[in-house]
Structure 1
Amino acid sequence: MRLWVDADACPNVIKNILFRAAERVQIPCILVANQAVSIPPSKWIERRVVSSGFDVADNYIVEEATAEDIVITADIPLASEIIDKGAVAINPRGELYTKENIRQRLNMRDFMEQMRSSGVQTGGPASFSQQDRMVFANTLDKLLAQRQNH
């Protein structure tokens, strides 16, 4: 089991939770980005720098991830591909993407994209809160416990 992190847009507070979890459970945590992201010295934490370009990091994660892995991403199309591989995907706010909810998330994402492209101001996501951080940490802990017991 490995933790894969779509690191370009992942908040630092979430990366820190992941670093602590990787050390505690002793599993690899791999941050994938198209620029060097800072990581603490650890045999469990590494970064993979991929070339710039649309979806290069996402494609790398999809290629490398296996069904035993957990992927942290806010990218809904990436989460969908990860679910199709049988792996687990969660977003930095702790929401677990599932076969049951991913289609709805993709539809909402496409709808919002259409709204923005037609000039409607949709605003961005809500700012990241302490509650989001706690939900993420709890979701991650549950997933790690479940996957270690298999």
Structure 2
Amino acid sequence: MIWVDADACPVKAEAERVATRAGVPIAFVSNGGLRPSANPLVTMVYVSEGPDEADKHIAERAGPGDVVITNDIPLAAKCVAAGARVLRPDGSALTERNIGEVLAMRDLMSDLRSADPFRQGGGRPFSKADRAEFLQALERAVQAAKRETHG
């Protein structure tokens, strides 16, 4: 199963395309506002309004053999701990090896932003290269997850 933290995900169409090609079910989890898909592999999961409801839904269900797509670092950490493969929309993988460092950097940046109210933004815009890297990374992750669950 591919789980997509869908509210602010810029690669929903790409994720659905990879899932369809691989014949893997995919769930888009959001607070609403997403159009349903006619694709039989797609499940739209609408959770109640509120902070982190989509994250909670995914974290409670993701595990070995699953791929999770999210930019939410605490959610990624929970999913990695549960044995799922985690990708960010730019194609970078979050793993047992790097999730601690990524969490620490997130906390540091949060502290810096709160200490300096004039600190704006944080990151570069999402690019075509990010989209292409994501597609390749998701293909690899889905194939690896399929091998993991089907021996």
Q: TM-score, normalised by structure 2?
A: 0.92
Matched-pair contact (CA < 8 Å) for 2:3–2:68: yes
Aligned residues: 147
Aligned to 1:144: 142
| CA apart distance, 1:40 | 2.7
Q: Distance in 1 between matches of 2:113 and 2:97?
A: 26
| CA apart distance, 1:123 | 2.1
Amino acid at match of 2:129: Q
Q: Taking every aligned residue pair, what percent have the same amino acid on both sides?
A: 37
Q: Distance in 2 between matches of 1:63 and 1:144?
A: 20
Aligned to 1:5: 4
Aligned to 1:60: 57
Matched-pair contact (CA < 8 Å) for 2:89–2:134: yes
Which piece of structure 1 moves more, 120-129 or 42-51? 120-129
Once the two structures are superposed, residues 117-147 of structure 1 have per-residue CA deviations (whole angstroms, 9 ceiling, x without a partner) of 1125042321110100011001011112222
Q: Secondary structure at the match of 1:27?
A: coil
Matched-pair contact (CA < 8 Å) for 2:64–2:83: yes
Runs of 4+ in 1 over 6 A off after TM superposition: none
Matches within 5 A, 1:1-150: 2-11=1-10, 14-119=11-116, 120-149=118-147, 150=151
Greater RCO between the two (CA within 8 Å, min separation 6)? 2
Q: Distance in 1 between matches of 2:139 and 2:83?
A: 19
Q: Distance in 1 between matches of 2:34 and 2:123?
A: 23
Q: TM-score, normalised by structure 1?
A: 0.93
Q: Secondary structure at the match of 2:48?
A: coil
Which piece of structure 1 moves more, 44-53 or 117-126? 117-126
Amino acid at match of 1:126: R
Q: Distance in 2 between matches of 1:129 and 1:39?
A: 26
Q: Secondary structure at the match of 1:30?
A: strand
Unaligned runs of 5+ in 2: none
Which piece of structure 1 moves more, 34-43 or 48-57? 34-43
Q: Distance in 2 between matches of 1:78 and 1:148?
A: 22
Unaligned runs of 5+ in 1: none
